[in-house]
Amino acid sequence: MAWRNTSERYGIVAKSFHWILFLLIAGLIGFGLYMTSQTFTPEIFTLYKWHKTIGVLVLALVVARVVWRFVSPPPPLPANTPPLERWAAHLTHLLIYVAIIVIPVSGWLMSSAAPFPNLILGNIQLPALIGQDEAASKFFSAVHYWAGRALMALLVLHVGAALLHHFIRRDQILVRMLPGSFSRKA
Ligand code: HEM
Ligand code: HEM
């Protein structure tokens, strides 16, 4: 299987980015919802450190993924894709990229502006992006919350579309993003 994307399918690098980020982002959503539903104890504080550590890692991976997307553009959609669907697929992907950049950046800004230490695993202090400011921290907390909710909605559409292609349309769209080099007749 090729490292780069071909005109037919995604390559190893794009697939690895997709599925590693899927696991990390799904974990972050789970961690995020759980930790904010609990009273604040030292154990929950450790979960915050995990959340921030993985969150910053996700930000770095997303930047690398976007750079790679310019180096190796994704395979085009099948030629018979109706214009509205083509547009919907591109818009959903674009909004997902925006969300997975805005969410970690707003998390980092919120935590920088909050009036307590902004620690990741190993009790390492994350460099502050802005100074302490309660109003700014509240604002970025709201951005983090709403962009997170928007991402969850986009992912419902995204996964729904992938399953529709695979089980109803029975085309190559899901298969070309799966690990390995399977193929099915269109
Ligand atoms: C793609 C990466 C990230 C995702 C998907 C994500 C997702 C979430 C979610 C779903 C919540 C729960 C929100 C709620 O229901 O109240 C949350 C909370 C939180 N996240 Fe993230 N997060 C990410 C990155 C980060 C980063 C990088 C930081 C900080 C460096 C961070 C700091 C926080 C904090 C402090 C909370 C507690 C909520 C608050 O105080 O407003 N997150 N996150
Ligand atoms: C955290 C969860 C996920 C995120 C953030 C995510 C994000 C993305 C993004 C940004 C793309 C566009 C790739 C590009 O061309 O640059 C993409 C493509 C794709 N994703 Fe996901 N995805 C997630 C979960 C899933 C799941 C669970 C499935 C399968 C059930 C899936 C199936 C696909 C498929 C099939 C494509 C390729 C679409 C095409 O060929 O045009 N994704 N995903």
Residue 160: which of 102, 99, 85 has the closest Cα?
Answer: 85
pLDDT recorded at residue 180: 80
> Is the CB of 88 inside a 6 Å radius of any atom of ligand 2?
no
Residue 27 Cβ contacting ligand 2 at under 6 Å: no
10 φψ region: left (φ > 0), alpha (ψ -120 to 50), beta (else): beta
pLDDT for the residue numbered 182: 67
Question: 3 lies in a domain?
Answer: no
The predicted pLDDT at position 185 comes to 57
Handedness of CA 154, 113, 130, 24 (dihedral sign): negative
pLDDT at 63: 98
Rounded mean pLDDT for each run of 10 residues along the chain, 186 residues in total = 90 97 98 96 96 98 98 94 96 98 98 96 97 98 98 98 94 92 63
Instruction: Please indicate, yes or no, if residue 83 is contained in any of the structural domains.
Output: yes
184 within a domain of the structure (yes/no): no
Residue 6 inside a domain? The answer is: no
Out of 29, 51, 63, 137, mutate this one to test ligand 1's pocket (max ligand atoms within 8 Å of CB): namely 51
CB 11 within 8 A of CB 3: yes
Residue 2 lies in a domain: no
User: Does residue 138 lie within any of the structural domains?
Assistant: yes
> Residue 186's pLDDT is what?
47
* In a domain? residue 173: yes
Q: What distance in angstroms lies between residue 139's CA and the mean position of ligand 2's atoms?
A: 29
> From the centroid of its chain, how far is CA 89?
16
Beta bridge partners of 125: 119
Which ligand 2 atom sits nearest the alpha carbon of residue 163? 30
Q: CA 8 to CA 184: how far, in whole Å?
A: 12
Domain that holds residue 159: 12-177
* Shortest-distance ligand to the CA of residue 128: 1
The answer for 170, left when phi > 0, alpha when psi is -120 to 50, beta otherwise, is left
User: How many domains does the chain fold into?
Assistant: 1
Which residue matches tokens 């919350």?
145
Is 182 inside any structural domain? no
List b or e across 62-76, with b for residues whose CB sees 16 or more CB atoms inside 10 angstroms: beebeebbeebeebe
CATH number of the structural domain spanning residue 135: 1.20.950
0.85 exceeded by pTM: yes
Pocket lining: 32 vs ligand 1, CB cutoff 6 Å: yes
